[in-house]
Amino acid sequence: MKVRRGPLDMSVLYDYGAPVSNGGKMNSIIYFDNDFKWWQATMDTIGLYGLELTGYLFLDPALLSTFVERWHGETNSFHMPSGEMTVFCIYPLTDEALHLPIKGRLLDHKGIPTKTEGVDLMIKHIGSTREEAEHKVKTTKGAHARFIYLKELIEKHTPVVNKAEVDGDKDFFDRYKRYITRAYLLLLVGTSIFSKKANNNVDLTYLKYFINLDQVHTYAWGTAALAFLYRELTNAIVPSCKYVAGYMTLLQAWIYDYFVDTGGSLDTQYQQQYPRATKYDPTKRQSSQMAMRKMMDWLLPRDITWTPYKDHRDTITLHPDSTANIFDTAYRIDEHWRNYTNHVMTYDMLGSRATIPPDTSPGYMSWYFRISHPYIVCIPASLMQPMHVESDAAMLGRLASIRNILNDVMHNDEVRNGSRVYTEL
């Protein structure tokens, strides 16, 4: 099928080529089932426990691809028929969807480890033998660790740490407890927020952030996760790219939250204090990409849930100064909270709400259609972009109003169920 290849006017989004429609293969979280008495408290202290709860067992490639092909890397946003979606913001997406910290130190990847440095990192910080470490970096052709090896390493260390705990050997116990924790964290981020197209290993550069376990919670993991996803979405729309990397659970959960008609099934066990991404229970059912494209092409602002997290924000607690004895870590009052109310925008400050697409500056939609990629449709090469875009947008608004009126008529029993009119509607 031939689809429109991006903007007609390339003066704004000049890097845009032909978007790729390919769901690819996605990583799945590798869960760590253990009986360690210290494990839960350790993960809570580190601040990445939300990742363990949010990995979807089933992803919807057609749904994800429908959004990926609307992504513009130059604006870091999705382009829809009714405008540009810029709600893909850090605070709700990572702080509330995954319960990951969004404030703190940035992850600095300068100086990617060499093979030799990777070997040293594995020996010192996850308890690998030199022979194992050298073999792993050789087989992965770089400073990487395979997921299966990290899982095997954790299993190998488990009886050692259990025996040390029973024997009361504190030094040995602490050392191997840290080996296990670091190996698991490396496995966790590699199969989630830093998932690669390779789909079987993780870069050892992330291990340096787990060397001091007392400081893991001080990094802005949520910010890093979103930046990584932005980059991978931009890479995915390159014509030669066949796969998309990044945490697809995060993207799919965001789609479910903002676009209720995409079919996200609610998890009956969900509670507000859980990460928002756990609200949904994806099944093996796959969407039709053609159906998803048509739905997106007819999408109107009223079909989007613009504030899906407003009831969830109050569940994220901000604690006073306290000290945790897991790694002797001190927590401080969130300084941003002191000035929170000074930065809240009220409904009065936001101004009046646009009710139909034409409620924009004159000529905006015509310009937007020229420089953007609002539709994913089959179109003859000779057919040019409609000139009366504003009229088309108004027509879509009127059709949506008619649809809503008909729905009200049917739901209010104004048309008898079983009648010919009801059946036709």
Q: How confident is the model at residue 420 (pLDDT cuts 50, 70, 90)?
A: low
Cα separation, 338 vs 129, in Å, equals: 49
Kindly report, residue by residue over 158-199, the tens digit of the pLDDT.
999 999 999 999 999 999 999 999 999 999 999 989 998 777
Amino acid letter, 376: I
SS3 at position 208: helix
Please give the backbone phi and psi of residue 43, each rounded to the nearest 5 degrees, phi first: -65, -35
Q: How confident is the model at residue 340 (pLDDT cuts 50, 70, 90)?
A: low
* Assigned token pair, 280: 């949904």
Given a contact cutoff of 8 angstroms between Cβ atoms, the answer to whether 370 and 385 are in contact is yes
Cα separation, 239 vs 21, in Å, equals: 9
Instruction: Quote the distance between the C-alpha of residue 59 and its chain's center.
Output: 12
Kindly report, residue by residue over 104-130, the tens digit of the pLDDT.
898 987 767 899 999 999 999 999 999
* Assigned token pair, 281: 């229970």
Cα separation, 91 vs 113, in Å, equals: 31
Kindly report, residue by residue over 260-301, the tens digit of the pLDDT.
877 777 888 888 777 888 888 877 667 788 888 888 888 877
Residue range 368-383: average pLDDT? Answer: 64
Q: Where are the domains of the chain?
A: 39-318, 388-425
Cα separation, 121 vs 23, in Å, equals: 34
Cα separation, 198 vs 139, in Å, equals: 13
Please give the backbone phi and psi of residue 335, each rounded to the nearest 5 degrees, phi first: -65, -30
CB atoms within 10 A of CB 370: 15
Q: How confident is the model at residue 27 (pLDDT cuts 50, 70, 90)?
A: very low
Nearest CA among 216, 183, 249, 204 for reference residue 34: 183
Sequence length of the chain is 425
Kindly report, residue by residue over 189-220, the tens digit of the pLDDT.
999 899 987 778 999 999 999 999 999 999 99
Cα separation, 98 vs 119, in Å, equals: 32
pLDDT of 139 > 70? The answer is yes
Instruction: Quote the distance between the C-alpha of residue 85 and its chain's center.
Output: 15
